[in-house]
Amino acid sequence: MSGREVPSSPLSTRLRPSRPPWLSPKVLRTEVLAGLVVALALIPEAISFSIIAGVDPSIGLFASFTMAVVISVVGGRPAMISAATGAIALVVAPLAREHGMDHLVATVILGGVFQIVLGSLGVAKLMRFVPRSVMVGFVNSLAILIFLAQVPELVDVPWPVYPLFAAGLVIMVLFPKLTRVVPPPLVSIVALTALTVAAGIAVPTVGDKGTLPSSLPVPGIPDVPPTLGTLGLIAPYALAFALVGLMESLMTAKLVDDITDTRSNKTRESIGQGIANVVTGIFGGMGGCAMIGQTMINVRTAGARTRLSTFLAGAFLMVLCIAFGPLVSQIPMAALVAVMVLVSVGTFDWHSIAPKTLKRMPAGEITVMVVTVAVVVATHNLAIGVVVGAITAMVIFARRVAHLVEVTAVTDPDGTEVVYRVSGELFFASSNELVTQFDYAGDPGRVVIDLTDAHIWDASTVAALDAITTKYRSRGKAVEIIGLNSRSAEIHDRLSGELSGSH
């Protein structure tokens, strides 16, 4: 036998286990450092959201830990960060305030179950109906909310906060020019913490936000009466929880898809969010969903792309709180505020408001974007803003399409017949005007309505056609409808004459 190496067969190549991409030393370093930066940024956010929800800071931190760890395994969008969020805190705050922690935990578990059911039913497919203008409005309003959330940390604070904040921005802007091996936010946080501790500078720190937990969460069952009364109390909150969480998570997943130029499994993400919330509830957390700010830190700022960074963000969060609590408590808030401000600037779609873009953009698209941003900023609720923006887009689209219907009349030379040719999409918005396009009194005795270039979409159109034929026949004139395509003919034949109670 010769000394040449025998090439491996295609079968052996297929059977050889492939190495996960995150095991590459370069990728592994990126994912680990990204997870550490996100964990540091999660701590004050989770504490703040706990305060909004009216619960102990440890509840928000536990939720961030379990959400990130579980979603890293069961989620459909790699590198996206899920944790306790302000949107979820706003939903559950009234329940926690009026009925206590056990009812809150029960709501989180039921909300997770609702998300699993909705995900299984294909709710993620509704994302295709979210227009680009709503998506741009979502991103821009999110950037504004991230920025506004930092403003209180820069008001009525000791003067050293401002130079520390400025120094943090300078470090993050200039450090990438030296090297990209270490994420700039991590360098900024470490450098400013070391400076404040060494120089004894008295500024607000993470420890001022609340006490960090000293042990891992333990599983348990909420102590609520297993009755229909309890279900009736928590179900509305749980459904709102489920819808807000899914909407924010799916919108964030779509944004990450665009940034990374990859596709993700939205159905798996929806079900995964539910599973993560059920687990979070069992461990006594306040629930959560995708976090746009931390996701942007992870994906855009730190360059993470795999599930490992999401898992490590949750794992590092607990390690930092339990093992390094005293040290983490000394991190100046100015350092974290600088990180989030830079994230907000990077998140905002500046191209969307450039004069050149606005000149070319249809007025309706600009209106939808502005409405989405205005509602989100006014309510501090991304879900409400997206829903209102989508409805606005639908109304504008319906009005635009309604005016694309054309009706032209051609009368025979002998004056005995007129043919009306109708073109366009016939639905509730356009059908109302259709009835006014005919000369009922002046037309000859035979009328033909040619729908070859039109399509019937709904019962409103059939009712309008019935009204037209009734008006002509009441004047003793014959009406014939021709040119229906198969789908239009099916709707017309099934509903014609059945939509009025007078027959």
CB 87 within 8 A of CB 252: no
**Integer Cα distance of 157 and 489 in angstroms:** 71
DSSP calls for 50-80: HHHHTS-HHHHHHHHHHHHHHHHHH-SSTT-
CB 180 within 8 A of CB 204: no
Which sign, positive or negative, has the C-alpha torsion 386, 388, 394, 396? Answer: negative
Helix (H, G, I), strand (E, B) or coil at 424: strand
How far from 92 is each of 60, 65, 325, CA to CA, in Å? 12, 19, 28
pLDDT tens digits for the chain (503 residues)?
444 444 545 554 455 556 666 668 888 999 999 999 999 888 888 887 887 787 888 899 999 999 999 999 999 999 999 999 877 887 888 888 889 999 999 999 999 999 999 999 998 888 777 888 988 898 898 788 888 888 888 999 999 999 999 999 999 999 888 887 788 888 899 999 999 999 999 999 988 888 888 888 999 999 899 899 999 999 999 998 998 899 889 989 998 999 999 999 999 999 999 999 999 999 999 999 999 889 988 998 888 999 999 999 999 999 999 998 888 889 899 998 898 888 888 878 898 999 998 898 888 899 999 999 999 889 877 778 888 998 999 888 878 777 778 899 998 888 889 999 999 889 888 887 888 899 999 999 999 999 999 999 999 999 999 999 999 999 999 999 999 999 999 999 999 887 765 44
